[in-house]
Homo-oligomer: A and B are copies of this chain.
Amino acid sequence: MDAAEFRRRGKEMVDYVADYLEKIEERPVYPDLEPGYLRDLIPTEAPCEPESFEDLMQDVERVIMPGITHWHSPNFFAYFPAASSYPAMLADMLCGAIGCIGFSWAASPACTELETVMLDWLGKMLQLPECFIAGTHGHGGGVIQSTASEATLMSLLAARCKAVRRVQAVESERSESDVLSKLVAYTSDQAHSSVERAALIGAVMMRKVPTDEHFAVREEMLKKMVEEDKAAGLIPFYFCATLGTTPSCAFDHITKLGPLCNKENMWMHIDAAYAGSAFICPEFRPLLNGIEYADSFNFNPHKWLLINFDCSTMWVKKRTDIIGAFKMEPLYLKHENQESGLVTDYRHWQIPLGRRFRSLKMWFVFRLYGLKGLQAHIRKQVALAKEFESLVQADNRFEICAEVILGLVCFRLKGSNELNQNLLKRITKSREIHLVPCQLSGRFVLRFAICARTTESRHIQRAWRHITQLAFELLQEQPH
């Protein structure tokens, strides 16, 4: 395919994309097929000769679309949102064309420098303390990771490295493996599975801190565990706090947990993967109070800030902490400017070596929406969640299971777990809306998350009518 054909096909694809998103409501939100459906629909081997673009696009409708869970349908209320906007898609086209691999400053200076400045822009939108902003006299700065899982892992590895050095500085005879075997990390029992996995990868112990009746970690519980562990000869070194847990969007008490971590020389990482985007609104910013105690902070603009996956933004208070764990310099990656002290080589900040020019997406979205446009998006989605919450509260067959703070509503039918499991099964099978469950204090709970950018009040109202209709049928069938 030459440039001339790309001009033609590219414009057709732009229309296909716009058509898909404009008419997405007409498609069932969740596919109706069995595992393994796709293999029989296409050949067993790649073609030897080139095929036509027309045939390929016909197969997109025949093979791909029937197997899509439509995350951008306004009837999709599952998991958490996956951000999507036209400005981000335009930026991604440009990113693909430039196609640089930005592992070092020299590999494409604009790729590194725009990222640093965009992380500053976003950090200022969130009113992060100055120590996290690169363009200041502080020692901090930001980076784009692929996912929150990687940000958590990077923070844990940096903390591990720092802890080993600190112990060995005092007890020089202790081996690294002996120190490692004594390190202990902590996180909420509500934390995302990726936190536990980070500890597994890093080969350190991780303990789950029990949460209070609001599913939040409180200072007392962590303090008790830390003291027990220290008494047993272990070395507490890391706490991953969550702001906006995946099951119920709960917030750990970081204003109290922060000082405890600082006092105990424990790295505090804050995972605000979903909730972080809301902190650009002054009314939600208090939820981030306590950030000043954190060593690192991460959230996913690719969830709720209209920037398509992947774009997980992470800030650290001390750049040297995060790059210290990793710095290796083979000759083919050295370049003239790296000794100037001005240069960031982002490969030292992350697990992969290669990286796309993802900050273009931030730049396009920030400029084409403006801060006000982004705030309006957050506020609208929170209002929709509140609207759904009111509908649930007005129906005494149902109950709300966790405080609704942002765009997630946890609810259930009053009654058994089995009853709620059956309700969810019927919802899933109907394919009119899509949602997923969670478990809160042993109870099976339905999660209703406002996801698509185009979700409006009418979708909420229709979803609720649908849920109550299915619940009515289900309750009718129950033996009295």
Contact = CB atoms under 8 A, between A and B. Distances in A.
B93 A89 contact: yes
Given A35-B343, A50-B367, 4 more contacts: A2-B86, A38-B113, A331-B444, A332-B436
A402 interface: no
Nearest to A429: B336
A70 B109 CA distance: 11
A331 B439 contact: yes
B201 A35 contact: no
B368 A48 contact: no
Interface string A63-82: 11111111110000001001
Given A22-B3, A197-B328, A332-B438, A352 B46 contact: no
Interface stretch (A121-129, A259-267, A465-473): A121-129
B309 A99 contact: yes
Interface in A78-124: 79, 82, 84-90, 92-94, 96-101, 105-111, 113-114, 116-117, 120-122, 124
B368 A60 contact: no
A149 B352 contact: yes
A131 to B, nearest CB: 17
Interface string A287-310: 000000000000000100000111
Interface residues of A, number: 151
Q: Which of A1, A97, A113, A436 is packed against the most chain B CB atoms within 10 Å?
A: A97
Contact of A193 (B148, B330, B351): B330
Nearest to A8: B14
A474 interface: no
A67 B246 contact: no
A282 interface: no
The interface residues of chain A, by DSSP majority, are classed as helix
Interface stretch (A225-233, A370-378, A388-396): A370-378
A451 to B, nearest CB: 11
Interface in A192-240: 192-194, 196-197, 200-203
A42 interface: yes
A69 B102 CA distance: 9
A337 interface: yes
Nearest to A181: B177
Interface in A337-383: 337, 340, 342-343, 351-354, 356, 360, 363-364, 366-373
Contact of A69 (B14, B100, B444): B100
